[in-house]
Amino acid sequence: MEPLHRPNEGGGSSNRDVLTRDKVDPQYKWRLEDMYTSVDAWDADANTVLKLGEELAGLEGQLNQSADVLLKALRLQDDLGQRLSMMFAFARMRRDEDNTNPTYQALTDKAMSIAVQVEQAKAFLVPEILEIPETQLRSFLHANTELQLYEFVIDDLIRQKAHVLPTEQEALLAAAGEVTSAPGQIFTMFNNADLKFPMVIDDDGEEIQLTHGRYIQLLESSNQAVRKTAFEAMYKTYGEHKNTLAAVYGASVKKDIFYSRVRGYESARKAALDDDNVPVSVYDNLIAAVHESLPALHKYLNLRKRVLGLKELHLYDIYQPLVSEMKVKIPYDEAVSTVGEAISPLGEEYQRIARDGLKSGWVDVYETKGKTSGAYSWGAYGVHPYILLNYQDSLDNMFTLAHELGHAMHTYYSHENQPFVYSGYTIFVAEVASTCNEALLTHHLLSNTTDPQMRAYLLNHHLETLRGTLFRQTMFAEFEKLTHAHAEEGGALTPEWLSNTYYKLNEQFFGAECVVDEAIAIEWARIPHFYNPFYVYKYATGISASTALSQKILNDGPEASARYLEFLKSGGSDYPIELLRKAGVDMESPEPVRATLAQFSSMVDELASILEK
């Protein structure tokens, strides 16, 4: 399972000199020793994985013999998956502590290499299962009660049968995995380890080095010159590498198209959505609904321009808090306490598990030199979940904590209540758990203030969350749709084409009320999510679903909370659309998206009524 990232940029240290890891108090570091106490222990598991892979490969040609042989193969696959996910998570998270550390660069590469060997070893499995007549598969399931655990897995394989290749071809694709993962790996190393930003001037007039973690903090400055300088320095740096970054991203898109075509899909987008059994209409409905509601975004931008007293609103002006005179400083420990209170509608058990986890080695809190930027949650079956932060003492970072804690609790409940085969869940539902926590935090904070200025601050923050998660991620999703379609039609993804396309989208989304600065055209080059194809739209659908569910939790009480917790416990035991339908939201309808966009519009009006009295 890949790490679950928060969509909004953030993280970083407020200190001028980024800390080295040894200067951070151990209570604010995650405890990766809970996975492996040493690299030697990791190596031992690696050897076991290779042996299990050989054992699984030895079953090739035998799956149709009996239900017992099929069960043995599926159990071996689970054992391999569980061990390999632990190995990969440990190696990657150790590397994420310091991307310049050669030991964990090498361990991550080794994990990738072993994963490819395992994929080759089990490449026969799916094609061979699908060669068994469906009537025989059904008789196996009927005859062996232990095999019935895998009924949903087998049904899903049958659903996707047309896109599964013969064994030899599946083995060839598996062998190519290490090569085809290269674009994302190259971008990660370039972006986190090699890319160096210039010195800029901060709010105090002092020179500091621009970092990923400090960028958004600088854009939130009340000094437009500080915002502009940081914005231009960021994109000038990426622009200096535009040819390399276009080549890397272009290779990633070509990889997506290659896999979709060899599997017989009409497009890379269709292939990506089919994994979750999500209709392409859900993706298109999202884009259409957001375009319908762009006037609400423009209304918000116009309010921002009026309140900030700007003749022209630039893209570097849209992150500054509108209630700029309020300095809300929230140390990490205070954030932990406040988030713990906010999630009380989900019940005492949820609260207790979350609070205990945050004090028990789940979280790596502060930015340090070489550490991967941003925030994510990750976990491996058999160990507690983990959270990476780059915490600053800000309201936004408290919301990031709530967001990642939502992911972590989803992982906790899923792992506690599902066997390994169904313990993973898709991003489509993952973003519901994270943004539901954010919605509960917003409600808690708004309910506990009578200060109009604080209320305005919180409304502004929630509007920014919706702007960043619903509008911005949908714009990203549309960019992905355009880039893949262009390449599928034979077009070249040159830096010029990518930048022109991205700039036009920004004009569509922001141009009615905002100066669309030329520098923004290169922003596509710094978005890591683009290397996980057709991923970002799930942030937008997720926040729409969570808006509906959080309202049910707050309005309907324990019954709705119990339904929600059952959703968290369900893991990947059904398709995401069905899991959400059971929880009370129909995402095949555009209504949850429209309702969230309507909430955005009404909150703009409420904010205006406070700020323009």
Res 8 pLDDT > 80: no
Beta bridge partners of 386: 378
33: which DSSP letter? G
Q: Find all residues with CB under 8 Å of 529, minimum gap 6, and list them.
A: 5, 7, 476, 535, 536
- Distance between CA 443 and CA 451 in Å, rounded? 15
For 86-96, what is the mean pLDDT?
Answer: 96
Res 301 pLDDT > 80: yes
| Phi and psi at residue 207, to the nearest 5° | -85, 125
What is the Cβ-side half-sphere exposure of residue 187, based on CA atoms within 13 angstroms? 24
**Pick the residue with more confidence: 90 or 328?**
90
N residues, the chain: 613
* Confidence band for 191, pLDDT divided at 50, 70 and 90: very high
- Could you tell me if 290 and 471 are in contact, meaning their C-beta atoms sit under 8 angstroms apart? yes
Res 15 pLDDT > 90: no
- Distance between CA 12 and CA 495 in Å, rounded? 29
503: its two tokens: 């700039």
**Pick the residue with more confidence: 431 or 605?**
605
Strands 363-364, 207-209: pairing is unpaired
- Distance between CA 539 and CA 238 in Å, rounded? 25
* Confidence band for 465, pLDDT divided at 50, 70 and 90: confident
Of the listed ranges 7-16, 34-43, 526-535, 564-573, the one predicted with least confidence = 7-16
Predicted local distance difference test score (pLDDT) of residue 13:
40
Predicted local distance difference test score (pLDDT) of residue 170:
86
- Distance between CA 536 and CA 595 in Å, rounded? 20
196: which DSSP letter? -
Q: Find all residues with CB under 8 Å of 179, minimum gap 6, and list them.
A: none
Could you report the per-residue pLDDT of 112-169, keeping only the tens digit for each?
A: 999 989 998 998 999 999 999 999 999 999 999 999 999 999 999 999 999 988 888 9
| Phi and psi at residue 174, to the nearest 5° | -65, -40
pTM here is: 0.82
- Distance between CA 430 and CA 445 in Å, rounded? 24
Res 9 pLDDT > 70: no
- Could you tell me if 230 and 519 are in contact, meaning their C-beta atoms sit under 8 angstroms apart? no
Question: What does the domain layout of the chain look like in residue ranges?
Answer: 31-164
Could you report the per-residue pLDDT of 507-516, keeping only the tens digit for each?
A: 999 999 999 9
Predicted local distance difference test score (pLDDT) of residue 5:
65
276: its two tokens: 């979750």
- Distance between CA 147 and CA 71 in Å, rounded? 6
Whose tokens are 């209540």? That residue is 417
| Phi and psi at residue 58, to the nearest 5° | -70, -10
Domain covering 31-164, topology? Butyryl-CoA Dehydrogenase, subunit A; domain 3 (1.20.140)
Res 601 pLDDT > 80: yes
Mean pLDDT over the full length of the chain: 93
Active site residues: 404
For 602-612, what is the mean pLDDT?
Answer: 94
